[in-house]
Amino acid sequence: MSHAHRKTLLLINPVSQLRTGFLMNRATKCQPLSLGIIAGLTPKEWKVKIIDENFRQFKYYEADLVGITSFTATATRAYELAGIYRSKGVPVVIGGIHASMVPDEAEQFCDSVVVGEAESIWPEVLKDFESGNLKKQYKGSFTNLIHQPLPRRELFHPGYIVASVQTSRGCPMDCSFCSVSAFNGRHYRFRPVNEVLDELESISNKYVFFIDDNIVGHNSFARERAKELFRGIIERGIKKYWISQASLNFADDEELLGLAAKSGCCMIFLGVETEGIEQLTEAGKNLNLHKVKDGAYNQVFNRIRKHGIGVIGGFIFGFDHDTPKSILNRARFIRRSHIDSVQLSVLTPLPGTRLYEELRVSGRLTHTNYPADWERYDYYEPVFKLNRMSVEIFDQYRDMAWKSIFSWPQMISRFFRTLLVNHNLKTTAIVWLNLYHYRRIFLFGWKRPYN
């Protein structure tokens, strides 16, 4: 009796070899959901394996076909790993947000590029592989998120503390530095609530990250749908702690906040970005602009916090209107603001964004030795000529600012400030641990992995 050769699809999640960043903490590592989805779309005749550099550096593994995902900072590594397989004659397909934004670059390093969302096109890629006719590029259309196969979670490394779940795609906003709308479109698409609930019931992790760009959306339909999801979690008795991302309008609806908290929301990440009117204007962050003009940032934070949900504020440094003084002002604003945890980054022009195009056209990009330089696009250093100061001055002030935000007196006072409104020792501990992880990442996390 002869067995047909069972083909192996190897999926790789590459990590940057330059700096650790978020990967230094197990708690902030994120499952490669897209690879799980590709595995779910692949017929049973295939053997599928995921190599995940979040946990272990790449070692060669035999395969018939290789699929690699990457974002901009991991593109350098993705191309390097693609080269290893191609030199052995194994075809490599690259997808993900970076390759989708610069497919002509990506196709030089692989056999096929999948541009956009892969669901609609993956069966065709496999068919063309089988007949030896892989095309250079495939363009996926926006996926109808109803009845899609689930990600094969059993293939993820068991070391992940937090499970990633997606409930919607797309964002109608148009922030200058963000490539979400270019990749997922400006219309929301939702998964049916029942399908999300079924998936949650199948997940054993206690902690879930809803990776949606805005879990409550920007219109009343999206808000009602979020409430339906939260009610469903409560009614089915699904006991998870969950985290997600949202805009400041998360705080606008008391009923929604109550349901979110009751369904297990322990932290929400808000893209605050900056307290500066000029900086918000240049970023096109209109929603925040309205709130900051009313002086309402702290009201927003506190409305959320009094429901027992910790607020993580995301802030950016390096806007065109930033000066040494405004960097210190932002740090002071953060220290005094009523948030529970802080995420910091340097403004980074990712390909596919308006910001990238503006800086490219005006000749201000300083790191353009691609693909080697992509790994420096990781939110840690300015990769463009700053408008109002040199990189050296920026580094000096940024350093001062970040250290002051995460000083121990600040850490301790934030713990008590959280406990005072949160009243719950368990969620206070979760929120403070998040702050502690971020402290390690933002003060010490920028060294090479694997050394």
Residues at the interface with ligand SF4 (CB under 6 A): 171, 173-175, 178, 180-181, 213, 247, 271
With respect to ligand SF4, which residue has the nearer C-beta, 38 or 280?
280
Residue 190 phi, psi (nearest 5): -115, 145
With respect to ligand SF4, which residue has the nearer C-beta, 156 or 379?
379
3-state secondary structure of 68: strand
For every residue of 217-242, which 3-state class applies, written as one string? CCCHHHHHHHHHHHHHHHHCCCCCEE
CB of 227 to ligand SF4, least distance (A): 20
Instruction: Output DSSP code: residue 294.
Output: T
Whole-angstrom Cα distance, residue 91 to residue 315? 41
CB of 98 to ligand SF4, least distance (A): 16
| Tokens linked to 101 | 């934004």
CB of 171 to ligand SF4, least distance (A): 3
With respect to ligand SF4, which residue has the nearer C-beta, 109 or 190?
190
CB of 177 to ligand SF4, least distance (A): 7
| Tokens linked to 308 | 């027992």
With respect to ligand SF4, which residue has the nearer C-beta, 247 or 418?
247
Residue 350 phi, psi (nearest 5): -90, 140
With respect to ligand SF4, which residue has the nearer C-beta, 173 or 429?
173
| Tokens linked to 109 | 């390093």
Our CA angle for 38, 217, 233, nearest 5°, is: 70
With respect to ligand SF4, which residue has the nearer C-beta, 248 or 431?
248
With respect to ligand SF4, which residue has the nearer C-beta, 85 or 317?
317
CB of 170 to ligand SF4, least distance (A): 9
Give yes or no for a contact between 36 and 151, defined as CB atoms under 8 angstroms apart: yes
Instruction: Output DSSP code: residue 423.
Output: -
With respect to ligand SF4, which residue has the nearer C-beta, 112 or 181?
181
CB of 263 to ligand SF4, least distance (A): 22
Residue nearest to ligand SF4 (CB): 178
Beta bridge partners of 192: none
Whole-angstrom Cα distance, residue 394 to residue 322? 9
Strand ordering across the sheet containing 112-115: 47-52, 8-13, 65-69, 92-95, 112-115, 137-139
With respect to ligand SF4, which residue has the nearer C-beta, 67 or 116?
116
With respect to ligand SF4, which residue has the nearer C-beta, 247 or 434?
247
CB of 56 to ligand SF4, least distance (A): 31
3-state secondary structure of 264: coil
CB of 180 to ligand SF4, least distance (A): 4
**CB neighbourhood size of 432 (10 A):** 21
CB of 413 to ligand SF4, least distance (A): 29
Give yes or no for a contact between 226 and 215, defined as CB atoms under 8 angstroms apart: yes
Give yes or no for a contact between 38 and 62, defined as CB atoms under 8 angstroms apart: no
According to DSSP, the β-strands at 112-115 and 162-165 are unpaired
- Sign for the CA dihedral angle at 295, 301, 302, 307 comes to positive
CB of 388 to ligand SF4, least distance (A): 23
